[in-house]
Amino acid sequence: MCPKTLDVVGIGNAIVDVLVRADDDAIDNHQLTKGTMALIDEQQAEALYASLGPGLETSGGSAANTLAGIAQLGGRAGFIGRVRDDQLGAIFSHDIKAVGARYQTPPATSGPSTARCLILVTPDAQRTMCTYLGASVLLHPDDLDLEMVAQAKVLYLEGYLWDSDDAKAAFIAAAKVARANGGEVALSLSDAFCVERHRDSFQELVDGHVDILFANEMEITSLYKANSFEEAAEQVRGRCKVAALTRSEQGSVILNGSGTHPIDPFQLGQLVDTTGAGDLYAAGFLHAYCQGQAMESCGRLGSLCAGQVVTQLGPRPQADLRALQAQHLG
């Protein structure tokens, strides 16, 4: 049992986002499904990029966004993920350390370049993502800083990494270390297509290794092939300690044991870009959770952080989350 010097340690893809405004025709022309994430190779990434308008680059990655949010809230955060020693890798490394998260995964010195996610933001503020996983997907169990994992109250895993066998093995290894040291394991299902690709093994993962599950409506219904949100919610109940299920403008529902806690959403301004909404919900939730707060308080801080990030372009809050917390939840 390791002393808990960190609140949350995340393992995920280390990605730089390229945010581009696009219209619905662009989504159709590239045969994308709005609101989801598609995996592309480097050639496809180049071709898609060339066809898009000017971009805005910012550090991303689902779990990385969550850990950056926790650090911004004042939590003790660590992140594990793999970049290349290139310019985008330097940007990713700088940004996550600049918010105060511990990040010491050494950059790869050979192999594919740092991962990039081309994010098409449509006028309805929805984001549609095409990800070139690059150096990120080659995360190997050897890359894990297990000392950091052992020191965390919560180990947070993003489902996206499930697309790589090495990363999958790294996940399970890390989850075992976390639990052996008295920590808990949280998982975000990440994306409905990701769930479809790995439904059976995600179900096993949830049953065998997960204490806190984050999923949106599409993801949880896909995981259990349910006909409705309510049906999916009853399926997941009891399989892990806590399930935090997000429903966009309908807020979220938290299930723990036989308890059901509906949480209202926060509307803090005009909806600009939903990129990072789920990631920041998890950030707020886990930050409050690590401080021992009640389920409702965890959900409300999650809602607040998600409510902020959708009012701006990009997945890392540009506003002062602690000031926002004091203002709305103080």
- Nearer of residues 70 and 223 to a second copy, judged by Cβ: 70
Residue 181 is a binding residue for a second copy (CB under 8 A): no
Interaction of residue 85 with a second copy, rule CB under 8 A: no
What is the pattern of x (binds a second copy, CB under 8 A) and - over residues 100-119?
Answer: -------------xx-----
Q: Is 53 in the site for a second copy (CB under 8 A)?
A: yes
Q: Which residues are bridge partners to 216 per DSSP?
A: 246
Residue 218: name the closest of 60, 34, 80 by CA: 34
| Stretch of residues binding a second copy (CB under 8 A), selected from 89-97, 230-238, 253-261, 301-309 | 89-97
Residue 54 beta carbon to a second copy: minimum distance, rounded to whole angstroms: 4
| Dist. CA 80–CA 104, nearest whole Å | 7
Q: How far is CA 74 from CA 14, 241, 311, in A?
A: 21, 25, 21
Nearest to 321 by CA among 3, 136, 105, 72: 72
| Of the residues 4, 21, 176, 328, which one makes contact with a second copy according to CB under 8 A | 21
Residue 92 token pair: 């990713």
DSSP states of 165-178: HHHHHHHHHHHHHH
Closest by CA position to 161, among listed 143, 184, 146: 143
What's the CA gap between 72 and 116, in Å, rounded?
A: 23
Count of residues in contact with a second copy, rule CB under 8 A: 27
Task: Please tell me whether residue 323 binds a second copy under the rule CB under 8 A.
Answer: no
Helix/strand/coil percent split, the chain, to 5: 45, 25, 35
Cβ closest to a second copy, residue 1 vs residue 50: 50
Site membership for a second copy, residue 74 (CB under 8 A): no
- Residue 46 has a CB neighbour count (10 Å cut-off) of 12
CB of 105 to a second copy, least distance (A): 18
52 binds a second copy (CB under 8 A): yes
Under rule CB under 8 A, residue 198 binds a second copy: no
- Distance, CA of 300 to CA of 305 (rounded, Å): 9
Q: Contacting a second copy (CB under 8 A), which of 24, 86, 143, 166?
A: 86
Q: Which stretch binds a second copy (CB under 8 A): 95-103, 152-160, 196-204, 207-215?
A: 95-103
Of 36-44, 93-101, 224-232, 239-247: span binding a second copy (CB under 8 A): 93-101
| 43 scored as a contact of a second copy (CB under 8 A) | no
221 touching a second copy, by CB under 8 A: no
87 in contact with a second copy (CB under 8 A): yes
CA 171 to chain centroid, in Å, comes to 15
Tell the smallest beta-carbon distance from residue 75 to a second copy (Å).
Answer: 16
Shortest Å distance, C-beta 99 to a second copy: 6
In angstroms, the CA 274 to CA 165 distance is 29
Is 24 a binding residue for a second copy by CB under 8 A? The answer is no
Query: 107, 162, 137: which is closest to 40 by C-alpha?
Result: 137
Please identify, using beta-carbon distances, which residue of 9 and 99 lies nearer to a second copy: 99
In terms of DSSP bridges, do strands 152-158 and 127-132 run parallel, antiparallel, or are they unpaired?
Answer: unpaired
**Shortest distance (Å) from residue 51 CB to a second copy:** 9
Q: At 218, which amino acid appears?
A: M
At its nearest, how many Å lie between a second copy and the CB of residue 248?
Answer: 24
Distances (CA, A) of 112 to 25, 44, 48, 52, 250: 31, 14, 18, 23, 40
Q: 283 or 298: whose CB is closer to a second copy?
A: 283
Where on the chain is the footprint of a second copy (CB under 8 A)? 21, 49-50, 52-59, 68, 86-88, 91, 94-96, 98-99, 113-114, 313-314, 316, 318
